[in-house]
Structure 1
Amino acid sequence: MESTRVDRWLWAVRLVKTRPDAAAACRGGHVRINDRPAKPATPVVPGDEVRVRVHHVNRIVEVTRVIQKRVGAAEAAGCFVDHTPPPPAMPLLPVARRERGAGRPTKKERRVLDAWRTGQP
């Protein structure tokens, strides 16, 4: 059965930008393989579930193919199955509108706008 280092695999399938970033994520505790903390040299094999936190987003992927060299994005996408849940829907915020040519807001209007932007009453 073929295996490779998790830091190398994360870089090869383009989940992280550089291999040192992948190693740093492993050392920082942001990578788990089958719900176990992973060091950079931890081997991954097809069928493993890899959880990685990248740019404040938790990604859950299943390894389908092990590669060691960085390949094109289309080929890299075929090396894993993404099980990451979709992000929660953001509530729509109303857009503040002013009449065209109304000039600068008054102090009272400015306080109302600032309160609306910060969410304070």
Structure 2
Amino acid sequence: MRVDKYLWCIRYFKTRSIATKACKESKVRVNGDLIKPSREVYPMDKITVRKNQVNYELIVLDTPDSRIGAKLVDIYRKDTTPKEALQKLDLLKYSKDYYRKKGTGRPTKKDRRDIEDWHTEGAIGSSEEEE
């Protein structure tokens, strides 16, 4: 089975074209090698997928005939992603929501000025500590 189709079948990508694009952009490796979307995958191949600033690592256990349900994904792959990488993903989520609530839109002019003041105060404070 093609690697782009495999990643789509086990639900790492929402569409097959997105999986193909990731392969073309060198975000997918099989056994440490950069690959083309047409590369065949076999059981016991190690796949590394760079997605959302995290390197997901998985081992192919079997190839499905077609796209499968989310509950059946573990039959066809073994996830060996380090826990540190998944914790990094959680930290990224929290770092984006520290200032503005979701759905409040773009920062206003006052918000932008407050952000700039906060950044300049941090720069001034760091230079005073060095002296």
TM-score scaled by length of structure 1: 0.71
Matched, 1:76 2:73: yes
Give the aligned partner of residue 28 of structure 1: 25
Rounded to whole Å, the distance in 1 between the matches of 2:122 and 2:69 is: 44
Structure 1 position 23, deviation (Å): 0.4
- Indicate how the Cα distance of structure 1 residues 36 and 72 shifts in structure 2: closer, same or farther if over 3 A, else same: same
Looking at structure 2, the residues matched to 40 and 28 of structure 1 have their Cα atoms a distance apart, in angstroms, of 10
Per residue, is there more strand in 1 or in 2?
A: 1
Q: Percent identity?
A: 34
In 2, are the aligned partners of 1:16 and 1:54 still within 8 Å (CA)? Answer: no
Do residues 9 (structure 1) and 12 (structure 2) align? no
Which has the larger share of helix?
A: 2
- How far apart, CA to CA, are the structure 2 residues paired with 1:84 and 1:48? 15
Q: Secondary structure at the match of 2:118?
A: helix
- Whose Rg is larger? 1
1:5-46 CA distance string (max 9 Å, x none): 000000000011110001001111111000111111100001
Instruction: Provide the residue aligned with 2:62 in structure 1.
Output: 65
Match for 2:68: what amino acid? V
